[in-house]
Amino acid sequence: MSVKQISTNMLRGWIDGLLLQKTVIGPVQHQGHFRFESITSSDQLALDYDVTDLPPKKFLLPPREVMMTFRSSGEFQSVMEFHPFVLFGVHPYDMIAINQMDRVFSEKLVDIHYLTRRNACSIVALDPVAVAPHNFSGCMGTATVEKGWDLLLTPLPQDGYLLEIGTEKGNTLLHSIYELPDASLDQLQLREQRWNQNQKSMRRHELKCAPDDLPDLLEQNYDHPLWQEKSSQCLSCGACNIVCPTCYCFDIQDEVDWSLETGVRCRAWDGCLLRDFAEVAGGHNFRKQSAERYRHRFYRKASYLPKRFGEIACVGCGRCISACIPNISNPVEVYNQLVGE
């Protein structure tokens, strides 16, 4: 482990230097909301953001991407994106979601499109200083993150940051700046305090059980009336899926041009709350009822994926809570209601 100290001015100068060589994507403020986007100057970065509307996964798994072009004669060509870029300012809960996606797309079925983009990406994680209105990552054990990032920035109380180098890729990113001083023991303690504080404060909703208990809790409540009650207000809009950093389902579509000679194969985000998500050939729908789709989302996150990967696929970002118009998608409310029975 190598932890350095860096002043805010030097950090900004370093980012501006990086921009001469690479695309840098970071949190930018727009009318009170934050979103990850490509920047042209370090001044645009809002490093004190609480949460972005969409998670940074959109740069690793784009909402729509062309995977292949083809001709009616049978020729085809894979389309692989390879533009080195830096994802800057990724909060711990989003980093953990990316770590989960890395496993999904590399274990068993290897997704070369995702992995090519992921390998081209360097990640600078950032410990938050502001808590979003619905964040409960402290309850999910995702308010801090130990791995996945190339560099980790922790703001210091006065000025500047501690900068931990996690990988060789991270080390290479730093090559353009002069030797940085090592963090002092006092500063390392301040970092511990920041982590402890974030684990305590990032709990806008308090889960009444341990995350590890969720798979058993769900197993006992498959036929609970809550699924019907809550889903009776569901608009099947899919917003809770779209904003979620751990949702990765997609649809594959072939788009043929008017000449019927050439076309492209695309993949686009899909969501299990949408009516046609589980519809198959012949018109059969495996989850026709809104209650079935609503319930599936919670089982997917806290039962099916944990059984496969050993981790709850909800990092407590709270985005689904903000995005749901009828206010029925709060995972903590659902789990606490089941615990309370």
* CB nearer to ligand SF4: pick between 11 and 234: 234
Site for ligand SF4 contains 52 (CB under 6 A): no
- From 130, 235, 249, 268, residue interacting with ligand SF4 (rule: CB under 6 A): 235
Helices and strands of the chain, counted as H and E runs: 13, 11
**Interacting span for ligand SF4 (CB under 6 A) from 10-18, 174-182, 221-229, 231-239:** 231-239
Q: Where are the alpha helices (DSSP H) in the chain?
A: 8-19, 92-104, 112-119, 137-140, 168-173, 185-201, 214-219, 226-231, 239-242, 290-299, 305-309, 319-323, 331-339
**Interacting span for ligand SF4 (CB under 6 A) from 117-125, 209-217, 244-252, 333-341:** 244-252
**Least distance from C-beta 134 to ligand SF4, angstroms?**
7
* CB nearer to ligand SF4: pick between 112 and 130: 130
Site for ligand SF4 contains 211 (CB under 6 A): no
Site for ligand SF4 contains 319 (CB under 6 A): yes
Neighbours of 47 (CB within 10 A): 19
Site for ligand SF4 contains 138 (CB under 6 A): no
**DSSP string over 24-43:** EEEEEEETTEEEEEE-SSGG
C-beta of residue 20 within 8 angstroms of C-beta of residue 183: no
Nearest to residue 105, comparing CAs of 165, 60, 69?
60
Site for ligand SF4 contains 133 (CB under 6 A): no
- Tell me, what DSSP letter sits at residue 250? E
How many whole angstroms separate alpha carbon 35 and alpha carbon 29? 7
**Least distance from C-beta 34 to ligand SF4, angstroms?**
15
**Interacting span for ligand SF4 (CB under 6 A) from 75-83, 103-111, 194-202, 235-243:** 235-243
**Least distance from C-beta 267 to ligand SF4, angstroms?**
20
- From 28, 306, 331, 335, residue interacting with ligand SF4 (rule: CB under 6 A): 331
Site for ligand SF4 contains 62 (CB under 6 A): no
Site for ligand SF4 contains 243 (CB under 6 A): yes
**Interacting span for ligand SF4 (CB under 6 A) from 4-12, 37-45, 201-209, 312-320:** 312-320
Site for ligand SF4 contains 306 (CB under 6 A): no
Q: In what order do the strands lie in the sheet with 161-165?
A: 2-6, 161-165, 151-155, 121-126, 85-90, 23-30, 33-38
User: Can you state the angle between helices 290-299 and 331-339, rounded to 10 degrees?
Assistant: 90
Site for ligand SF4 contains 326 (CB under 6 A): yes
SS3 for 227? Answer: helix
Q: Which residue has the tokens 């709270």?
A: 318
Site for ligand SF4 contains 203 (CB under 6 A): no
Site for ligand SF4 contains 101 (CB under 6 A): no
**DSSP string over 77-102:** EE------EEEEEE-HHHHHHHHHHH
- Positions in the binding site for ligand SF4 (CB under 6 A): 234-240, 243-246, 273, 301, 314-320, 323-326, 328-329, 331
